[in-house]
Amino acid sequence: MSMWRRPRRLPLSVITMLVTERVFTAVLLLFTAMAATTAAFTGWQHGSSLFGHQNDYNHVCYRTVPNPYVYFGTKTTYGAVAGNDLQTPQDCRPMQVWMVSRHGTRYPSRKKIEELKKLNELKTMITADSTMCPEDIVAIKNWNTNLTKEDHYTLQRQGVEELKSLAIRLKRQFPQIFNNPYTESNFKFLTSHKQRAKDSATVFYQTVFHENPENELPVVKTSDDRLYLYKCKQVEDDDDDTKGKGEVEKFEDGPLVRSVVSRVSMAMGLKQNLSYENVSLMLESCKYEKAWYIQSRPAWCAVFTQNDFEILEYVDDLKYYYDNGYGNSIGERMGCPIMKDLIDNFKNLARGNQGPLGIFYFGHSPNVLSVVARLGIGKDDTPLLSTNYEQMKNRKWRTSFIDPFASNVIAVFYKCRDGNKAMILLNEHGIPMGKDECRICPWEPIEAKFNAITSDNQTCNLNMCKSSGSLSSINLVIVIFTYIIHSLYI
């Protein structure tokens, strides 16, 4: 315990270690074990080192392989990586559930929906030299898309399911919290202004309270540093996002991704290499369909080997590492305001005051990742680079596990016979904390650790991003100006 009771001003680096390296290793071992189990069953890939030549895999079908690969970065389906650690220990009573959630599985952007139609052309290019099994080829030839522009970015059926089932699990585990009627003082909702986040919040609400919200659920104000991160980063979980380049671009132009492109081209029996853009489209189709129809065998997945999937997964990891993670100099700081909200709410309860029973935030990848980075989860000793894929094979920063569709950080405050306790979960995996790697831990040491960061009014805000904020207001002025000129000419 003495270790916990250090003076308030610990260096930042120490404080962020609440979730210590060792601790996270345990979580990671679990992840790795899960991944390894999958890998062990997936013998379908062409191009494995066991068999020298691609053609040796002619007989292996994606259609029939057991346990196909599902770790698709931020398009991973929640159920593939979620844990089962929501619980209340004996002699404890949950007092408050606090949550930040990404929206559930969605449809692609308008632009991506348009681009996916190009696959109808690419599917006709498969030749007799294809190394894929006949059933897989037939599936690709029969592939089509029925998406329309109206679908863009909306919550898909599976996304509705994800939020619904999360609400059901919470209600079952914490009836003392969730079996209370909705009032504005009992339950705080806040959502991003995007429809898919609003819809996720609404599904969650409907499932918990068996009714529709009487009024529109509160939408975040642009001045709210807890949830509105656009002033720092324009990124969200966008298909069309072009930020975080640099290492991402170098990796995409590098030998590993080129080898994927080459293998996919050969799998299709082509004499020429496809462009990376076209291979990306095939992957997008594969990922999305797997997320929408989790039992399905999406046609376009068959052009990839597991090795290919793993290489392309690193593209997502690099992107979010530099946009929202430890590769960004303000990655950890971006999560301070939302973390402060958590700490202040639990502190209030610890002082014996009344507080809301539930506090729920609905947003996007950056919202969850900001909390993850502030907690120190998924932090590697070595930075992720375009050049160290092999070295980082066992990296902790894997967006598939950290930020699937409907990813969430949940924190629970308990009053127990032996004092106040708290549990923090990432995608329903209890995060081991402190020296003894407890999952349901005494509250005071947690408060002491985090209060040191979150109580600093000078740093616990997004003021460092003000300059980019004023940049966008310049843009706005230009837009308005252009509009005025335009209307003058009509």
Ligand X SMILES: *[C@@H]1O[C@H](CO)[C@@H](O)[C@H](O)[C@H]1NC(C)=O
**Residue closer to ligand X (CB basis): 92 or 336:** 336
Contact window for ligand X (CB under 6 A) among 207-215, 216-224, 272-280, 477-485: 272-280
Q: Is 278 in the site for ligand X (CB under 6 A)?
A: yes
Site for ligand X (CB under 6 A): how many residues? 11
Q: What is d(CA 461, CA 228) in angstroms, rounded to the nearest whole number?
A: 11
**Residue closer to ligand X (CB basis): 20 or 273:** 273
Q: Nearest approach, Cβ of 121 to ligand X (angstroms)?
A: 8
Q: Is 13 in the site for ligand X (CB under 6 A)?
A: no
**Residue closer to ligand X (CB basis): 136 or 289:** 289
Contact residue for ligand X among 262, 280, 348, 468 (CB under 6 A) = 262
Contact window for ligand X (CB under 6 A) among 70-78, 168-176, 204-212, 254-262: 254-262
Q: Which two tokens stand for residue 483?
A: 């509009």
Q: Is 457 in the site for ligand X (CB under 6 A)?
A: yes
Contact residue for ligand X among 180, 273, 348, 461 (CB under 6 A) = 273
Contact residue for ligand X among 53, 111, 172, 258 (CB under 6 A) = 258
Give residues 87-126 in contact with ligand X (rule: CB under 6 A). Answer: none
Q: What is d(CA 437, CA 433) in angstroms, rounded to the nearest whole number?
A: 5
Contact residue for ligand X among 28, 274, 371, 431 (CB under 6 A) = 274
**Residue closer to ligand X (CB basis): 150 or 214:** 150
Contact window for ligand X (CB under 6 A) among 164-172, 211-219, 266-274, 311-319: 266-274
Q: Nearest approach, Cβ of 146 to ligand X (angstroms)?
A: 4
Give residues 139-168 in contact with ligand X (rule: CB under 6 A). Answer: 146
Q: What is d(CA 304, CA 308) in angstroms, rounded to the nearest whole number?
A: 6
Q: Nearest approach, Cβ of 487 to ligand X (angstroms)?
A: 36
**Residue closer to ligand X (CB basis): 63 or 396:** 63
Q: Nearest approach, Cβ of 433 to ligand X (angstroms)?
A: 25
Q: Nearest approach, Cβ of 272 to ligand X (angstroms)?
A: 5
Q: Nearest approach, Cβ of 91 to ligand X (angstroms)?
A: 35
Contact window for ligand X (CB under 6 A) among 2-10, 105-113, 273-281, 380-388: 273-281
Q: Is 277 in the site for ligand X (CB under 6 A)?
A: yes
One-letter-per-residue 3-state SS of the chain? CHHHHCCCCCCHHHHHHHCCHHHHHHHHHHHHHHHHHHHHHCCCCCCCCCCCCHHHHCCCCCCCCCCCCCCCHHHCCHHHCCCCCCCCCCCEEEEEEEEEEECCCECCCHHHHHHHCCHHHHHHHCCCCCCCCHHHHHHHHCCCCCCCHHHCCCECHHHHHHHHHHHHHHHHHCHHHHCCCCCCCCEEEEECCCHHHHHHHHHHHHHHHCCCCCCCCCECCCCCCCCCCCCCCCCCCCCCCCCCCCHHHHHHCCHHHHHHHHHHHHHCCCCCCCCHHHHHHHHHHHHHHHHHCCCCCCHHHHHCCHHHHHHHHHHHHHHHHHHCCCCCCCCCHHHHHHHHHHHHHHHHHHCCCCCCCEEEEEECHHHHHHHHHHHCCCCCCCCCCCCCCCCCCCCCCCHHHHCCCCCEEEEEEEEECCEEEEEEEECCEECCECCCCECCEEHHHHHHHHHHHHCCCCCCCCHHHHHHHHHHHHHHHHHHHHHHHHHHHC
**Residue closer to ligand X (CB basis): 107 or 178:** 107
Q: Nearest approach, Cβ of 349 to ligand X (angstroms)?
A: 18
Q: Nearest approach, Cβ of 201 to ligand X (angstroms)?
A: 24
Q: Is 275 in the site for ligand X (CB under 6 A)?
A: yes
Q: Which two tokens stand for residue 62?
A: 């994606």
Q: Is 272 in the site for ligand X (CB under 6 A)?
A: yes
**Residue closer to ligand X (CB basis): 273 or 468:** 273
Phi, psi (rounded to 5 degrees) for 149: -55, -35
Q: Which residues pair with 155 in a beta bridge?
A: 106
**Residue closer to ligand X (CB basis): 84 or 353:** 353
Burial category of 279 from C-beta neighbours within 10 Å (exposed 0-12, middle 13-18, buried 19 and up): buried
**Residue closer to ligand X (CB basis): 144 or 176:** 144
Q: Nearest approach, Cβ of 261 to ligand X (angstroms)?
A: 6
- What x/- string results for residues 399 through 438 when contact with ligand X is judged by CB under 6 A? ----------------------------------------
Q: What residues make contact with ligand X under the rule CB under 6 A?
A: 146, 258-259, 262, 272-275, 277-278, 457
